[in-house]
């Protein structure tokens, strides 16, 4: 509440100074437009949803932890959503493995025409191929940030949407097998990343499925994360990028959501844009001065729960919720 008041005061001060400079009149409704109600979102709850996933161990497809976590995600989302569909499929990997996978699709008001799609991947990478210690590079990762953070935020978003229903319909998809791509040291031509989103884009859970737009979360749990305008997002859905970064700025999160361009990332949204033809953006932590372009623990054994900051989960969750509640 205090923050809202501060934003309002700042807005009035800015507008008053504009008035005197340019002699423009400002109506009451202009001032009202600058107010933004901060939605309820529990950072602690989001954090515990992340931890519950990592407690299973690495969620690598075909592992016991993967199977157990699938069940946990299904049962959790059934508590909050109107409908949950487990879309099972097999995926072929770059090294000839066959993976048993599930995309988990949870919906609010599935009958509504106007809807938006939220997504994150729930699997974790089978190899820590960017680990500084050589012997770690064949180990699977905990994926607290890379995977579990986006899912944790969306689970808390679902819990809140159940407490206070939005006007529009919402689908939340947890994609499987995003992170089983080729090792850093190998170059095997083919679309080996994002196997779950590729499958769903070719086989949507509903015939003629449509959404106005989509928001993908990937690596949204590190301290002081920076979210730039990712290249694919700006190419396919520039207006959605503006909308979301605008909402975040108004909420006071400009330190996280930075209005500058960054690298193009082949992530799940690429296939949703190109195959399913739904404009989708990616909120993904990128860093200008890191070796990989991502956060320092990316694809290492250090991507664990100790390196999750609930402040970042909260910033992203509140931004997403505000965007949803503003849709009429």
Binding site for Zn ion (CB under 5 A): 125, 146, 179
Give min distance, CB of 48 to ligand AHN, in A.
22
Picked from ligand AHN, Zn ion, none, the partner binding residue 230 (CB below 5 to 8 A depending on kind) is none
Note whether 186 and 257 are within 8 A (CB).
no
**Nearer Cβ to ligand AHN, position 146 or 176?**
146
90 to each of 72, 98, 102, how far by Cα in Å? Answer: 20, 6, 9
Give min distance, CB of 94 to ligand AHN, in A.
12
Structure tokens at 62: 């075909």
Name the DSSP class of 285: B
Binding site for ligand AHN (CB under 6 A): 146, 179, 181, 193, 218, 265-267
- b or e along 99-117 (b: 16 or more beta carbons within 10 Å of the residue's beta carbon)? bebbbbbbbbbbeeeebbb
Give min distance, CB of 299 to ligand AHN, in A.
7
Please tell me the distance from the alpha carbon of residue 281 to that of residue 232, in angstroms, as a whole number: 7
Q: Residue 117: beta bridge partners? A: 171, 214
**Nearer Cβ to ligand AHN, position 83 or 304?**
304
Half-sphere exposure of 81 (CA within 13 A, CB side): 25
In the bound complex, which residue of the shown chain has the CB atom lying closest to ligand AHN?
266
Please tell me the distance from the alpha carbon of residue 120 to that of residue 108, in angstroms, as a whole number: 17
Picked from Zn ion, ligand AHN, none, the partner binding residue 223 (CB below 5 to 8 A depending on kind) is none
**Nearer Cβ to ligand AHN, position 265 or 308?**
265
Give min distance, CB of 293 to ligand AHN, in A.
8
Name the DSSP class of 96: S
Picked from ligand AHN, Zn ion, none, the partner binding residue 287 (CB below 5 to 8 A depending on kind) is none
Give min distance, CB of 181 to ligand AHN, in A.
6
**Nearer Cβ to Zn ion, position 125 or 250?**
125
């Amino acid at each position: 509440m205090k923050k809202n008041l501060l934003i309002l005061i700042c807005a009035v001060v800015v507008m008053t100074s504009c008035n005197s400079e340019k002699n423009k009149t400002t109506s009451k409704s202009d001032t009202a437009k600058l107010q933004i109600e901060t939605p309820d979102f529990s950072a602690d709850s989001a954090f515990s949803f992340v931890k519950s996933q990592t407690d299973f161990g690495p969620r690598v497809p075909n592992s016991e932890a993967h199977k157990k976590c699938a069940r946990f995600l299904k049962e959790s989302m059934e508590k909050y959503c109107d409908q949950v569909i487990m879309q099972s499929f097999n995926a072929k990997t770059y090294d000839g493995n066959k993976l048993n996978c599930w995309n988990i699709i949870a919906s609010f008001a599935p009958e509504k025409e106007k809807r938006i799609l939220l997504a994150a991947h729930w699997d974790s990478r089978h190899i820590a191929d960017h680990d500084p210690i050589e012997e770690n590079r064949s180990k699977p990762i905990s994926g607290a940030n890379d995977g579990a953070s986006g899912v944790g935020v969306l689970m808390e978003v679902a819990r809140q949407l159940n407490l206070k229903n939005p006007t529009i319909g919402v689908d939340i998809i947890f994609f499987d097998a995003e992170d089983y791509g080729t090792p850093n040291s190998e170059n095997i031509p083919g679309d080996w990343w994002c196997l779950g989103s590729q499958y769903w884009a070719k086989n949507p859970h509903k015939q003629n499925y449509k959404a106005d737009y989509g928001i993908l979360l990937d690596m949204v749990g590190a301290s002081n994360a920076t979210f730039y305008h990712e290249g694919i997002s700006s190419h396919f859905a520039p207006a959605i990028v503006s909308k979301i970064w605008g909402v975040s700025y108004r909420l006071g999160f400009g330190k996280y959501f930075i209005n500058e361009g960054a690298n193009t990332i082949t992530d799940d949204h690429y296939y949703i844009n190109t195959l399913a033809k739904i404009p989708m953006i990616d909120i993904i932590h990128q860093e200008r001065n890191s070796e990989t372009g991502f956060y320092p623990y990316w694809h290492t054994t250090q991507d664990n729960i100790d390196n999750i900051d609930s402040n970042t989960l909260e910033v992203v969750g509140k931004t997403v919720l505000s965007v949803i509640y503003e849709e009429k």
